[in-house]
Amino acid sequence: MIYQSTRHNHETATASQAILRGIAPDGGLYTPTSIPSLNVPLHELATMSYQEVAFIVLRAFLTDFTDDELKECITQAYSQHNFDTPDITPIHSIGNKHYLELFHGQTIAFKDMALSILPYLMTVAARKNNSNKKILILTATSGDTGKAAMAGFADVPNTKIIVFYPKGGVSPIQEKQMVTQTGENTHVIGITGNFDDAQSAVKRMFTDTQLAETISEKGYQFSSANSINIGRLTPQIAYYVYAYAQLIKSGKIQAGDPINIAVPTGNFGNILAAYYAKEMGLPISTLICASNKNNVLTEFFQTRRYDKNRPFYVTNSPSMDIVLSSNLERLVFHATGNDAEKTAELMNELAHHGCYTIDEQIAHHFSNIFADYADESDILSSIKHSFDTHHYVIDPHTAVADIVTDRYIQKTQDATPIIIASTASPYKFPRSVMDALGENDTTDDLILVDKLEAYSHISQPQAVLAIKDAPIRHQSVISVEDMEKSVLNCL
């Protein structure tokens, strides 16, 4: 299986090379040139554990890893040490809506699903490619990736990780989780800019050959823990396949029945994984792409025009506050029939004018993607409604998907079962949740956490208990211009 850059046909890599490099040297994203099929009868999947399903999926995509290597990575990553339930990703069903809880890992957001395995995959990839350099992970985070990546990479030999987050653009719990991170090899830096500024600067550093040489002299090579890395993306396919298997197992569907999947979307990584699951042969009819007020993707799927020239809103679903959705480039590449030249042209327009429009023929490829968005007051009503009617507490990101799902059902009367990707624990965003429930009367988010516990009767996760008295270890805040300098200072 070959991965190629979305921008040049000749820029190719094996799976392990793509994981090690993170991004292609031309600034494009390594993308599979053909999607493997599942090759296992669906009814058989229903008898498998999460780990077994993950093995089937990863083996199909990461073809230069041996079975033993993959099994070892999977066993280490999806252990009872890292997840608080043996199901790994349990489903909470309410009628036709099936909430796929992706937040039972160490940092209580779905990023744990891939970031608990990425360090193991990367370590194997380095060995396979006889790399004698230490790996320097640069990560831009909208709040959840940073913590999950550090939890995965903390004290992993021969790695160093630097996380950039938008100061003032993440929730207080998210920030506290990051700035209390332990590990000799972890660095956390706030920037006076938004997530897009951080991601763009990080991408620029990855493709700066001079900088690569400078860090190489110090014994390092760059890689990425963002969803631009296929080592992030491919493990995410597994939970959609596993979710389908769970629905068969619980008798909610029969093997072969169609389902829809709704995903609260920011950088387009999680929903792209669902798209790959569909391409592998999982019977998915419609993908529901749910955005918050930063609704650049809604506009794109409705009008064929991607336009980043718009205000950037800091919202109550901060992990989706993104205007430049990196992984859309991969979908566009597939929609053009894997035409790197055409994709490069569109991305060039985006870089120079901030917008591009795709023609109808390309857009035809997206006919089974439904896109809409929810604003902040919608989110609060949805959280309240879910609690009042079903006594189920959802986080603001999941609420975005919930609202857009309801709109989709209202519009189409489609009765197909829907999996809603539940991307974070409500405990990560206690202020918005308690605000929705009308109990937001203190400035201290950790007090709100206790109130949420009293309300929901769900115990506080270890991830929250752990930060309560943890000392702050990282305090620097810098301008976007100083990011490169700060990287060199960390070496």
Work out whether 146 is an interface residue with ligand PLP (CB under 6 A): no
Q: Based on the shown chain and the rule CB under 6 A, indicate whether residue 298 belongs to the binding site for ligand PLP.
A: no
Question: Applying CB under 6 A, does 268 fall inside the site for ligand PLP?
Answer: yes
Give the start-end residues of each E strand in 282-364: 284-291, 305-307, 355-357
Shortest gap between Cβ of 400 and ligand PLP (angstroms)?
8
Of positions 105, 146, 193, 269, contacts ligand PLP by CB under 6 A: 269
Alpha-carbon separation of residue 106 from 147, 309, 327, 425 (angstroms): 9, 36, 25, 11
Cα-Cα-Cα-Cα torsion 205, 349, 267, 19, nearest 10 degrees, comes to -50
What is the Cα 55 distance to its own chain's centre? 20
206 binds ligand PLP (CB under 6 A): no
For ligand PLP, the closer CB: 25 or 172: 172
Examine residue 144 and tell whether it contacts ligand PLP (CB under 6 A): yes
Footprint of ligand PLP on residues 409-438 (CB under 6 A)?
423-424
* Cα torsion 244, 248, 254, 260: sign: negative
Which x/- pattern over 209-248 shows residues binding ligand PLP (rule: CB under 6 A)?
------------------x---------------------
Nearest distance in Å: CB 123, ligand PLP: 24
CB of 331 to ligand PLP, least distance (A): 12
Does the footprint of ligand PLP cover residue 106 (CB under 6 A)?
A: no
Q: From CA 418, how far away is CA 100, in angstroms rounded?
A: 10
CA angle in degrees (0–180, nearest 5) for 116-150-24: 80
- Part of the chain binding ligand PLP (CB under 6 A), chosen from 85-93, 244-252, 267-275, 430-438: 267-275
- Rounded-to-integer distance, Cα 146 and Cα 162, Å: 9
Report the C-alpha gap between 101 and 92 in whole angstroms: 7
CB of 268 to ligand PLP, least distance (A): 5
In the complex, minimum distance from the CB of residue 290 to ligand PLP, in angstroms, rounded to a whole number = 9
CA distance 45 to 28: 34
Exactly one of 97, 111, 176, 203 is catalytic; name it: 111
Total residues contacting ligand PLP by CB under 6 A comes to 16
266 binds ligand PLP (CB under 6 A): yes
394 three-state secondary structure: coil
CB 28 within 8 A of CB 344: yes
- Specify the stretch interacting with ligand PLP by CB under 6 A; choose among 242-250, 262-270, 404-412, 468-476: 262-270
CA–CA separation, 259 and 266 (whole Å) = 22
| 451 catalytic per annotation | no
- In the complex, minimum distance from the CB of residue 474 to ligand PLP, in angstroms, rounded to a whole number: 20
Strand ranges in 72-122 using DSSP code E only, listed in sequence order? 91-94, 97-101
**382 lines the binding site for ligand PLP (CB under 6 A):** no
The tally of CA atoms less than 13 A away on the side-chain side of residue 12 is 8
The 284-291 sheet, strands edge to edge: 91-94, 97-101, 418-422, 259-264, 284-291, 369-373
Shorter beta-carbon distance to ligand PLP: residue 27 or 266: 266
113 touches ligand PLP by CB under 6 A: no
Q: How far is the CB of 468 from ligand PLP (least distance, A)?
A: 21
Extract the tokens encoding 468. Answer: 């309560």
Kindly tell me which residue out of 320, 323, 331, 467 binds ligand PLP, with binding defined by CB under 6 A: 320
Backbone angles phi, psi at 401, to 5 degrees: -70, -35
Q: How far is the CB of 460 from ligand PLP (least distance, A)?
A: 18
CB nearer to ligand PLP: pick between 215 and 399:
399
Q: What whole-number distance in Å separates Cα of residue 344 and Cα of residue 328?
A: 13
- Judged by CB under 6 A, does residue 270 bind ligand PLP? yes
Which stretch in 163-171, 258-266, 341-349, 410-418 sits in contact with ligand PLP by CB under 6 A? Answer: 258-266
Q: Shortest gap between Cβ of 157 and ligand PLP (angstroms)?
A: 28
Q: How far apart are CA 151 and CA 139, in angstroms?
A: 13
How far apart (Å, rounded) are the C-alpha atoms in residues 486 and 478?
Answer: 8
Using CA atoms, how far apart are residues 136 and 104, in angstroms rounded to an integer?
Answer: 27
Pick between residue 191 and residue 320 the one whose CB is nearest to ligand PLP: 320
267 binds ligand PLP (CB under 6 A): yes
Residue 419's SS3 state is strand
End-to-end CA distance of the chain: 35
> Is the CB of 103 or the CB of 356 nearer to ligand PLP?
103
Among 264, 417, 426, 461, binds ligand PLP (CB under 6 A): 264
Tokens linked to 231: 């080592």
Active site residues: 111
- Please report, as ranges, the residues that interact with ligand PLP according to CB under 6 A: 109, 111, 144, 227, 264-270, 319-320, 397, 423-424
